[in-house]
A and B are shown apart, each in its own frame.
Chain A
């Protein structure tokens, strides 16, 4: 069922989640230390950059087929971190993109990364390339790039569709160390079997906090975990209510599915 407008229950839930996240951000910004468990896939990013630099071969970062949306923005945030590392160690970073709007943002992000490391003259704008907005033409172009440039590391962070396995297998064949992360649950199994490290589910949105250790982002991450706790509590309440009021009679189902009008 498509909800045109929220009802009071959706509004209340959203206020609770947003307040929890903002409260955790404020707490972190006031100096409280936040702990994040080790995420092997994200720790492997620095290792992959180091390996590529030692081998003297370029790296490749793809943000997938998405337009400027949340998964792509998160992918670009990770790309900025990898670009800074590439600039610091004097390595190349190839960024093939499938959307012209993402191209503009990726160009700007890489330029800023090289400038931030004090090496603006080493920035190669031609390494950020628009290949095609067609799914399999993009996959063919990127596979060719992986093999021709003999990349040592590939990073696949963004929203991927059926082309995910083609891209990951191309990297596997060329012997590149591969780190992948996507919120697309249908593509996660393909990355798990073809990549060395895979970031699953909400770990994807933890990437920028983990890599930068910024208090604001760490606070946001803790806020996410608290919000998930609230959701689990709601699931338990829903389960109990379903036992006593099965089907349509369940008051929680009525609250969740009732439209706010329109």
Chain B
């Protein structure tokens, strides 16, 4: 919907004007009383919800009212722009995260709290990643220092961050074994059903399991008793039915909560008072 602004001086004027408008808006909001702020939140929530509801429920490319001509949904062209605006607002909050980390770790160092050196490592890592990340994006990689910076960035990002995340992910395998041990102890009737079902599903996935029941004829009802077919039935019928029932409940629950938030009916948790 929005087209690039040209020439450059006009683009910069628009950027500065919009930034100034945002600062003024944020300042104005910060001066408001809590009750007034909530009124604005309620009005914005209702209008934003109304936009998405109308956009989805109005027909895409057909007559909306009997007296109008055939035309496209008038709200659809605004959909992507509104999504981008939401992303821009989310971008503002990034600094909140960095500020919070800086405050928490800065306090640890200043007060020499237990493990303060971990907080010092945080600042070191933050500054190193900012510096080498910016050099990687905007710096001259061909220059002598550029090559060192490029390798350091690769070492920090691929060698450090990515490897550490992969290590955390691989820990899951060990935790899963520990969790499976606890789950598969035969403590009750439900646990026994779980163990038997899990055993059959696992057996149905491996060649050894299929080998066990290969003798059952393939052309009559006995084929259903082959372990791979029992495993498939458990997954596609029993498990899937339960999963869909849960998803129906979750969907209706989300709809009810959305409706309460949209119509300002939410009480107890966020909004103590009625307006």
| Interface residues, chain A, with chain B CB atoms under 8 Å away | 4-6, 10-11, 14, 17-18, 21-22, 25, 67, 70-71, 73-74, 76-78, 80-81, 99-101, 103-104, 109, 116, 126, 128-130, 133-137, 139-140, 148, 162, 165-166, 169, 183, 185, 188-190, 192-194, 200-202, 204-206, 208, 211-212, 214, 216-217, 220-221, 223-224, 227-228, 231, 259-262
Q: How many of chain B's residues touch chain A, expressed as a range? A: 35 or more
Q: With A and B bound together, what is the CA distance between A179 and B97 in angstroms?
A: 27
For B39-74 the 0/1 string (1 means CB < 8 A from A) is: 000000000000000001111111000000000110
Q: With A and B bound together, what is the CA distance between A129 and B49 in angstroms?
A: 30
Using known A-B contacts A6-B57, A193-B179, determine if residue A208 contacts B97 with beta carbons closer than 8 Å: no
Q: With A and B bound together, what is the CA distance between A208 and B179 in angstroms?
A: 29
Q: Is the CB of B267 within 8 A of A204?
A: no
Judged by a CB distance under 8 angstroms, whether B255 is at the interface is yes
- A129 contacts across to B, CB distance below 8 A: 100-101, 104
Closest residue of A by beta carbon distance from B94: A100
- B17 contacts across to A, CB distance below 8 A: none
Closest residue of B by beta carbon distance from A205: B253
Q: From residue A136, how far is it (CB to closest CB) to chain B in Å?
A: 4
Q: From residue A122, how far is it (CB to closest CB) to chain B in Å?
A: 18
Instruction: Name the interface residues of B221-245: CB closer than 8 Å to any CB of A.
Output: 243, 245
- A21 contacts across to B, CB distance below 8 A: 255-256, 259
Contact of B103 among A126, A211, A220 (CB under 8 A): A126
Judged by a CB distance under 8 angstroms, whether B76 is at the interface is yes
10 example contacts (A-B, Cβ-Cβ < 8 A) are as follows A11-B57, A21-B259, A136-B168, A185-B247, A193-B182, A216-B260, A220-B265, A227-B255, A227-B256, A228-B252
Q: With A and B bound together, what is the CA distance between A81 and B180 in angstroms?
A: 32
Q: Is the CB of A100 within 8 A of B96?
A: yes
| Interface residues, chain B, with chain A CB atoms under 8 Å away | 56-62, 72-73, 76, 90, 93-97, 100-101, 103-104, 107, 115, 161, 164-165, 168-169, 171-172, 175-176, 178-180, 182-183, 243, 245-250, 252-261, 263, 265-270, 272
Q: With A and B bound together, what is the CA distance between A103 and B95 in angstroms?
A: 11
Q: Is the CB of B58 within 8 A of A5?
A: yes
- A223 contacts across to B, CB distance below 8 A: 256
Q: Is the CB of A231 within 8 A of B171?
A: no
Q: Is the CB of A137 within 8 A of B96?
A: no
Q: Is the CB of B56 within 8 A of A22?
A: no
- A259 contacts across to B, CB distance below 8 A: 60
Q: From residue B133, how far is it (CB to closest CB) to chain A in Å?
A: 14
Q: Is the CB of A133 within 8 A of B97?
A: yes
- B100 contacts across to A, CB distance below 8 A: 100, 103, 128-130
Closest residue of B by beta carbon distance from A194: B179
Q: With A and B bound together, what is the CA distance between A165 and B172 in angstroms?
A: 7
